[in-house]
Structure 1
């Protein structure tokens, strides 16, 4: 994954444009447009695009442009099958390995999720931070590399299809709080159960988008 620096800034900016469909599914965009939209140069934008392509968020077509691929319910459900297993492992490892500073950040996130009023943008940032913190607690860089693209694709699907913002944010916040609290309590079984409950919610949400 891209660490700090301008490439990371470009990655975050372009990913957010994709998640919130400022770059619509099926659209073809140029590097120059992304440079203009991010305010960053060709090299960091190109590095970000290469990582986004590896994470299946974009498809790079030389001499044509960058394609934002559509996200189908079928692909979301297949992705969630893998995310389910990896996140269950991540939270169990986080129970065992989280450092004091990570645990303190988890406690702060719980307070935010329970007290703040979110719009979709601030909720997206907070949930991404929650995911990254849980993986950081697991202290396994290979797991981090495997799980980050799955979570990015999942966020893209969810934010692209959410209709009742307040209700879905409330449901998601409660589920993420349960995971974080179980990790802080040192209860690996409860953490895994809470992680699976979040995945069940995401699966049900995906099926719900098919209903008229």
Structure 2
């Protein structure tokens, strides 16, 4: 099992709570609450919150606590513009640079995505791991640092607004499988095309969320 420091563990746990809505958009939290929920001390939780604030997952208000920002279709679409470019680069690099250990992880992920029926929470972890494999395979730490916050924000928006859970999971799984298979084939053109198809899906998901909000008014 991967060994990570306590601050990184706190980051993962708190980000997971935000992505899955256990800390709801627009709600306030406190360091003490997060220490209790993560089982970790004040220092790693505080370090994690500083990083989460830099990644726009929380807002730190010294006199009020920690605000979990509301999601926004407009912000999501702007974020996807950047993710589109960075992810296309990541998959192209992974086609050429991914080593055998990463490629074995990708092959196992394809098998899992093909055969497994996911709960929403399990799918969240699977998507996160899929993108980590791709970024690791790209062999570029600067790219990893740039794209990881975008993936977190994108997952948060999707899980906040998903309605047809199984239908969307099936669609997302198929799109991620296409990307992974293209990388395993070392076909950089196919990998980029599959990456752009995933981005197109997320853009349409965002527009559908906006249409639904307008309809419900």
TM-score using structure 2 length: 0.95
> Deviation string for 1:23-65 (max 9, x for gaps)?
1111111101111111111001001101101111001112321
Tell whether 2:61 aligns with 1:44. no
Q: Give the equivalent residue in structure 1 for 2:163.
A: 163
Q: Give the equivalent residue in structure 2 for 1:100.
A: 100
Distance 1:30 1:122 in 2: 26
Gaps of 5+ in 2: none
**Residue range with higher mean Cα deviation, 19-28 or 143-152:** 19-28
Q: Give the equivalent residue in structure 2 for 1:137.
A: 137
SS at match of 1:66: strand
Q: Give the equivalent residue in structure 1 for 2:18.
A: 18
SS at match of 1:69: coil
Q: Once superposed, which parts of structure 1, at least 4 consecutive aligned residues long, lie more than 3 Å away?
A: none
Q: Give the equivalent residue in structure 2 for 1:111.
A: 111
Task: Report matched runs for 1:162-201 at 5 Å.
Answer: 162-201=162-201
Distance 1:19 1:118 in 2: 16
Distance 1:88 1:30 in 2: 37
Q: Give the equivalent residue in structure 1 for 2:146.
A: 146
Q: Give the equivalent residue in structure 2 for 1:124.
A: 124
Gaps of 5+ in 1: none
SS at match of 2:210: coil
Distance 2:122 2:28 in 1: 27
Task: Report matched runs for 1:2-81 at 5 Å.
Answer: 4-81=4-81
